[in-house]
Chains A and B, each alone.
Chain A
């Protein structure tokens, strides 16, 4: 184990160092370069928030092998909590950790079905949870203002009463995205990350090797939901308007697509995926329905043509195909 650590740690960290420096430079420079054009700066800022979400989704989907389609709903819990708390007079910077924690707790609890359900059944279950959350956002209109949504959410203040400037908040978002990627790199390269990967590869075998599968899946959900929560909390004041549709199943699918398209189970694949796909929906503006068609086509392309994404995925040989159709094939039980 120690040999493995000294052998693997530095190389992996150095491997991430060059792209990390490049990413930090780009993320930090973008708000400054684009500060003349609020619209493009806004697109860049939204991309940064999607980076955070993609990191969380990547931890769950890419590294733990779970495919939750309720990610946007978890982000929504945090967004609504933060907006309600700031409306009640809290400072945004105090509401942010509270909302994030609320989202993480919710995410951990809502992730519990993953302990019993696998593959399609868990994905379906998370889809149902996402739908229930969207319905709940509409239904509990006392907290969420229902379908109308909450508008005119102010940017947070810098501590002495005045709201942050757009540029300052863009820099906050860039810093959050960079810290998110760093946190993901550290998580994945720690022993926790190796255990999660073991669970992804074969959770029964991982359990037999003494890994507490239940506990680690819950930890994965807690950390993944942290990303969702921070992203959701930062999202609300940035866009200034949230409604149940901001956190519906389409958004969950989009986040999944960015991770899968980029290359799940790699650090930089999803970052590239986000950089390519997230700006689209904001740049297309009134032709945004084209985005739905395009995303749908990309989903099919990812599934059919490149299951490993553009970054190549797990870095293993392609999985074995089962024999042709008229030969006996083992068929897994539904569970």
Chain B
């Protein structure tokens, strides 16, 4: 293999890994919320961009170091999520077919946030870029990779691992998973269903915020990312199986690589066509997804 081809291959792999881990983060956030409170959060892309934009304000406008800004922004998602849960989300906890209501509700939130962004950030700039966490370049074989992106990748993987450990081994994680599987049986075994609902809503949004912030650290972004991310996260969730964290993880990685590979050889539009098509097929023929829990 010639050197140029090797560089293309390696860069596709590195882009695929970074994109895949961020896709996985967002999709896991969406699928946790859907699996527990049955809310298909179409506003995930707007939350994602909100985190990125807040990070931009904190680092570029206020000059805060990106690491501190990350903690602040992700920390801010907790009271925001609790407020949203208290005002809107918890009203529907007892409604039988609440996923349609939630879906439309989150589309309403999408529209509000998109309008606000267009009115504020959209007037200030087209393209947003955050300062890197760390400087320097590492050579992976012949390919130079910014240390910043490597760190983003490491952080995303670390958050995914921590999330996995939390859901699998910690008491709260087990409670969330118990409610995932059977809310009534969990209630009978003494799990506080309502607390577990609000916890998973907050947790899911915090993960989406983390994904948005990490994406902004690794790549420059604009406001149109929001809708693409929403649809992508939904596609990952549906294909992986709604509520399945493992499915979201694996399919998210696959999507990241597909996006990187298809964008190298064809256009990003083709990539979007391909996974929307995959999602339609899964919806029609196996709506429970590939990794149904």
Contact = CB atoms under 8 A, between A and B. Distances in A.
Interface in A149-171: none
Contacts of A304: 88, 91, 105
Interface string A111-142: 00100110111011101110110010011000
A83 B231 CA distance: 30
Interface string B123-162: 0000000000000000000000000000000000000000
B273 A135 contact: yes
Contact of B94 (A249, A307, A325, A335): A325
Contacts of A300: 88, 105, 108-109, 112
Interface class of chain B by DSSP: helix
Interface in A300-335: 300, 303-304, 307, 321-332, 334-335
B115 A124 contact: no
B95 interface: yes
A297 interface: yes
Nearest to B123: A289
A296 B94 contact: no
Contacts of A22: none
What interface size band does chain A fall in? Answer: 35 or more
Contact of B99 (A120, A131, A139, A324): A120
A123 B115 contact: no
Contacts of A67: 100
A201 interface: no
B119 A121 contact: no
B280 interface: yes
A296 B88 contact: no
B183 interface: yes
Given A293-B112, A296-B109, A299-B107, A128 B276 contact: yes
A120 B113 CA distance: 22
Given A299-B111, A300-B88, A132 B103 contact: no
Contacts of A249: 227
B77 interface: no
B111 A120 contact: no
In the complex, which of the residues B97, B105, B111, B279 has the most CB atoms of chain A within 10 Å of its own CB atom?
B111
Contacts of B122: 289
A186 to B, nearest CB: 29
In the complex, which of the residues A120, A135, A307, A332 has the most CB atoms of chain B within 10 Å of its own CB atom?
A120
A295 interface: yes
A292 B112 contact: yes
Nearest to A321: B94
A324 B94 contact: yes
B118 interface: yes
B63 to A, nearest CB: 28
B193 interface: yes
Given A253-B107, A334-B288, A132 B276 contact: yes
B32 interface: no
Contacts of B183: 329, 331
Interface in A239-266: 249-250, 253, 256
In the complex, which of the residues A290, A297, A299, A331 has the most CB atoms of chain B within 10 Å of its own CB atom?
A299
Contact of B100 (A123, A291, A329): A123
Interface string A274-296: 00000000000000011111011
B193 A296 contact: no
A124 B113 CA distance: 20
B79 interface: no
A250 to B, nearest CB: 7
A238 B111 CA distance: 27
B100 A116 contact: no
Given A120-B100, A324-B94, A335-B287, A135 B108 contact: no
B269 A299 contact: no
Nearest to A292: B115
Interface in A70-102: none
A120 B40 contact: yes
B6 interface: no
Given A67-B100, A120-B40, A124-B283, A296 B118 contact: no
In the complex, which of the residues A127, A138, A249, A334 has the most CB atoms of chain B within 10 Å of its own CB atom?
A334
Interface of B: 40, 42, 88, 91, 93-97, 99-101, 103-105, 107-116, 118-119, 122, 183-184, 187, 193-194, 227, 231, 234-235, 238, 242, 269, 272-273, 276-277, 279-280, 283-284, 287-288
Given A292-B112, A325-B193, A326-B187, 11 more contacts: A113-B280, A121-B287, A124-B103, A128-B231, A135-B272, A292-B111, A293-B119, A296-B113, A304-B88, A332-B96, A335-B287
30 contacts: A113-B280, A125-B280, A127-B42, A127-B231, A128-B234, A128-B235, A132-B273, A135-B269, A135-B276, A139-B269, A139-B273, A289-B118, A292-B114, A293-B111, A295-B108, A295-B111, A296-B108, A298-B108, A299-B108, A300-B88, A300-B108, A321-B94, A325-B93, A325-B194, A329-B96, A329-B184, A330-B96, A334-B242, A334-B287, A335-B288
The 8 A-B pairs of least Cβ separation, nearest first, read: A292-B115, A299-B108, A296-B112, A296-B111, A293-B115, A120-B99, A300-B108, A328-B184
Interface of A: 67, 113, 116-117, 119-121, 123-125, 127-129, 131-132, 135, 138-139, 249-250, 253, 256, 289-293, 295-300, 303-304, 307, 321-332, 334-335
